[in-house]
Structures are given as structure tokens and as C-alpha cells.
Amino acid sequence: MPLSPLRRPPCAVRTALRTALRTALLTPLAAVTVTATLLTAAPPAHAAASVHGTGSATGSAAEQVPGMDVSRYQGTVDWQGAWANGARWAYVKATEGTTFQSPTFPEQFQGAGDAGLIRGAYHFARPDLSGAAEQATHFVDHGGNWTADGRTLPPALDLEHNPYGPDACYGRGQSDMVSWIREFSDAVKARTGRAPAVYTTSDWWTRCTGGDTGFGGTNPLWVARYATSPGTLPAGWSAHTFWQYADSGTFPGDQNWFNGSYDELKAFARG
């Protein structure tokens, strides 16, 4: 998932930024194994659908839908090729902070839809720059809207370690961060009718929100973990909706699963 407007290529600078955090979870050998296994074998198991149209992190059924997420660093994406290779949904970076707009968002978002993918927009959070409502407005005004057409995913909020300084939590305390996320979520829902999906890792959520449990009943979870399973989910969620499992693979950009069937994905998009 992109960390800034000047997002580095997925396998280079991103790896340098995250190595210290993910060494215990994923060795180079494991990364190769994850990509090979997940792209050639059956999807990881999951249980029956929840209120977010998803199953649990571990369970008994076995349907998941492959997808991807991209930003300007992918440039012009071969969406028809991605569809042919099995991608059925995508998130596209739209905005960051209060001013940045991805110059490739309009083309990428349109291209994904034209190829048949169910697509949505995401915002990279900068809690160090402004209040959440201001960023929510910027996001919705520049791509983060939602319509119940069955082809548009709900808006998504990207919450991850601060790439601009040593403080992973952008200088905010845990309770302050929880308030910031809630303000953003409420503002987006007021404008679009959908609460945003939350992209994060269990580590960041624990460190920066203190393991707050208040979002699991309202916001779909997009969990990032480069391993053979989603693992222990952030506090408050008993199920994930999306799982980002690798930063390269069959599709351009990051590799993901939707936790459910294709029909469930379409229903989730419709709201």
C-alpha cells in the first residue's frame, strides 16, 4: 500500500521501510513461498459471511476473489490483462492528506471499470497534517465517492506507519488517533452513505490506537499481512473483508483477496 505521493516502487523502497517491522513475520524465503502458494493453490479457508460480507480469518469454506491495489507508481495499468489473469476488483489511490491528488487516478479508476473490475478509491491518511474531516472532504471531492451500482467499492482509509518521520503514529496519542479515525469515518459516511473500509496492520492498530475495538461493527477491515494467512486481526474485528498478502505477483501493484465469493463481492459493493 502506498506510503506517500512520491510512492516508491513496490519491491524497492517499500521493502526498506517495512523490513524492520515485518522481519519476524516474513523472511525472503517465506515471501517467495507465499506468492507461489497463494497464486497457484486454492484460496485460504474462511467461514460463513458476516455483516460485512466476509468470513473469519480461519474457517471451513474456501471461496475468495483475487484483486489488486494500485497508485501512480503503476502508471498505465493493463486492466484487460489483469482481468484475463483473474483480477475481479481493485482499489486505486485517489488522495493523500489535504492537497495531494493522484494524477493517475482518473485513468486507472476508469480503466478498471471499463475492464469489468469492481473498483474503489482509497485515501492515505495524514493525521499529522490536519483534522480528519478536512481530509475526508478532500477525499470524497476527488474520487472517494460511492454509488450503489454494484461496481463501486466503499471508500477506503489507508492507516499505516508514518513514512515521513520516526513516529509511526504521526505524533498523535492513542485516544487522539481513535478520535481522528472516527471523525474521518463519520464524515465519509455522511457524504457517501458508506463507512470506509480500514486498511491497516495489527501492529499499527495496536501501537497507534491501543487496540481500540470500536470499529469492527461499522467499518470493513482490509488487513495487510505478507504471510500465508491474515493471522491475528486488529482488535475489534472478528473477520476481514480484504487481505493484502504481497506487494507483487500476478497483477500490477499489491496482491489481495476478497474474503468471500464473487456474488458476495458484488453484494458488498451494492451495500
Helix axes 202-209, 174-192, angle to 10 degrees: 110
Query: Nearest-CA neighbor of 221 among 258, 252, 187?
Result: 258
Q: Is 183 exposed, middle or buried (0-12, 13-18, 19+ CB in 10 A)?
A: middle
Catalytic residue status for 160: yes
Length of the chain: 271
The answer to whether 170 touches 221, Cβ cutoff 8 Å, is no
Element at 92 (helix H, strand E): strand 89-96
The answer to whether 221 touches 237, Cβ cutoff 8 Å, is yes
**Residue 57, CA distances (Å) to 12, 48, 81, 106, 222 in order:** 29, 11, 29, 33, 12
Q: Is the dihedral of CA 227, 228, 231, 234 positive or negative?
A: positive
| Whole-angstrom distance, CA of residue 17 vs CA of residue 166 | 11
Catalytic residue (choose from 63, 160, 247, 254) = 160
Catalytic residue (choose from 158, 203, 247, 254) = 158
Catalytic residue status for 78: no
What residues act catalytically?
A: 69, 158, 160
